[in-house]
């Protein structure tokens, strides 16, 4: 329940509510979130608060937004192993906005950058990569 006496921002409160629904399986992966309008009406909030709450979840990689379509709970992608050789290094970072579009990544998804011992660099989709040694 949103509490206007609470010191926490309204959008944080709403984000917490929705995150909890995702965590408990009340909103399953692939499920559609209530539209912005119904969230506004259902919680008596303005549009900015609702959008900011959903944005928090998007940044966490919990939901995916597409224009014209209802926002959905992100489905867990399968992880593909990335093998790290003895002279390789891996770092994680956020892609730049142009890079993100080029790679076809949703907002809120980091990349895994592997710098090979031979000087090569590979960039992987963060949500699907698992680094293994050897």
Residues of this chain that bind DNA (CB under 7 A): 9-12, 33, 35-38, 45-49, 51-52, 65-71
Which tokens sit at 43? 């919680």
Q: How far is the CB of 63 from DNA (least distance, A)?
A: 9
Closest CB to its own copies among residues 49, 126: 126
Task: Verify binding: residue 92, its own copies, rule CB under 8 A.
Answer: yes
CB 43 within 8 A of CB 35: no
What does 85-116 look like in DSSP terms, one character per residue?
Answer: -TT-EEEEEPPPHHHHHHHTPPTT--EEEEE-
Closest CB to DNA among residues 66, 78: 66
Q: Is 25 exposed, middle or buried (0-12, 13-18, 19+ CB in 10 A)?
A: exposed
CB 51 within 8 A of CB 10: no
Of the candidate spans 10-18, 28-36, 38-46, 63-71, the one that interacts with its own copies by CB under 8 A turns out to be 10-18
Q: How far is the CB of 36 from its own copies (least distance, A)?
A: 16
Contacting positions for its own copies (CB under 8 A)? 12, 15-16, 19, 56, 59-62, 79, 84-86, 88-98, 107-112, 126-127, 129-134
């Amino acid at each position: 329940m949103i509490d206007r006496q609470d010191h926490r921002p309204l959008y944080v409160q709403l984000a917490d509510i929705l995150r909890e629904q995702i965590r408990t399986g009340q909103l399953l992966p692939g499920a559609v979130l209530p539209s912005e309008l119904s969230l506004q009406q259902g919680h008596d909030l303005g549009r900015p608060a609702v959008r900011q709450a959903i944005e928090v979840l998007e940044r966490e990689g919990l939901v995916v937004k597409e224009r014209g379509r209802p926002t959905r709970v992100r489905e867990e992608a399968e992880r593909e192993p990335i093998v790290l050789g003895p002279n390789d290094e891996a770092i994680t970072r956020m892609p730049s906005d142009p890079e993100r579009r080029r790679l076809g990544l949703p907002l809120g998804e980091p990349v895994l950058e592997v710098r090979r011992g031979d000087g090569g660099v590979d960039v992987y989709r963060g949500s699907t990569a698992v680094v293994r040694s050897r």
